[in-house]
C-alpha cells in the first residue's frame, strides 16, 4: 500500500475529469453490469501513468465520442477492487497502468503498460479516441 496522501493528487487528476473511483469489488461488479460502454482505468504511481496514461485519458475525453461511463481502480491501494476489475480483463495479465474498454460487460479493447510506456499523452489520447469511435 502507498501512503494515501502521496496518491491523492493522482486520484484527483482523474476524479476532476468526472471519473468515478471504485474502491470495493462490489462497486466494480455494479459498474461493469451497466449496459453500454465502460472505460476502466487502472491507476498507478508510475511515471508512465503520470506522463502518458492520465493525461492521455484527459485528452481523449475532450472529444464528442466517449464511453458511457469512466471508472478507475488504484493498483497498490484498493487491492480487492483492482483484483476484481482484472478478473474482467482475462486473458490479459495485470499491468499498471492498464486501460480497458468494456461493452455490455465484455472486454473489447485493452491497453497494457507496454502499450502506454514510451508513448506520449497525445498518442495515448489518440489511441483511446480511436477506440471510442469504433466501440462507443
Domain range list for the chain: 4-131
pLDDT, tens digit, for every residue of 78-129? 999 999 999 999 999 999 999 999 999 999 999 999 999 999 999 999 999 9
pLDDT of residue 44: 93
Among 22, 28, 42, 48, which one carries the catalytic annotation? 48
The CATH architecture one would assign to domain 4-131 is 3-Layer(aba) Sandwich (3.40)
Q: Kindly give the residue spans of alpha helices, DSSP state H, lying in 25-111.
A: 25-32, 47-48, 54-60, 79-87
Nine-digit cell string for 87: 478478473
pLDDT at 49: 92
Percentage of the chain beyond pLDDT 90 is 92
Q: What is the pTM of this model?
A: 0.95
Q: Select which of 22, 28, 40, 46 is catalytic.
A: 46
Pairing of strands 106-111, 98-103: antiparallel
pLDDT band at 2 (very low <50, low <70, confident <90, very high): confident
Averaged confidence pLDDT in the chain: 95
Residue 1 has pLDDT above 80, yes or no: no
Rounded Cα distance, 28 and 73, in Å: 8
Task: Specify whether 136 is catalytic.
Answer: no
* 48 tagged catalytic: yes
Mean pLDDT over residues 61-82, rounded? 96
Amino acid at each position: 500500500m502507498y501512503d494515501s496522501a502521496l496518491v491523492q493528487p493522482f486520484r484527483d487528476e482523474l476524479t476532476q475529469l468526472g471519473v468515478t473511483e471504485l474502491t470495493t469489488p462490489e462497486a466494480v461488479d455494479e459498474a461493469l453490469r451497466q449496459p453500454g460502454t465502460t472505460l476502466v482505468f487502472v491507476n498507478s504511481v508510475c511515471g508512465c501513468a503520470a506522463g502518458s496514461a492520465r493525461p492521455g485519458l484527459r485528452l481523449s475525453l475532450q472529444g464528442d465520442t466517449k464511453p458511457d461511463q469512466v471508472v478507475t481502480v488504484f493498483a497498490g491501494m484498493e487491492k480487492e477492487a483492482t483484483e476484481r476489475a482484472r478478473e474482467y480483463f482475462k486473458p490479459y495479465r495485470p499491468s499498471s497502468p492498464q486501460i480497458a474498454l468494456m461493452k455490455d460487460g465484455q472486454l473489447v479493447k485493452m491497453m497494457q503498460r507496454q502499450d502506454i510506456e514510451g508513448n506520449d499523452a497525445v498518442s495515448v489520447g489518440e489511441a483511446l479516441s480511436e477506440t471510442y469511435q469504433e466501440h462507443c
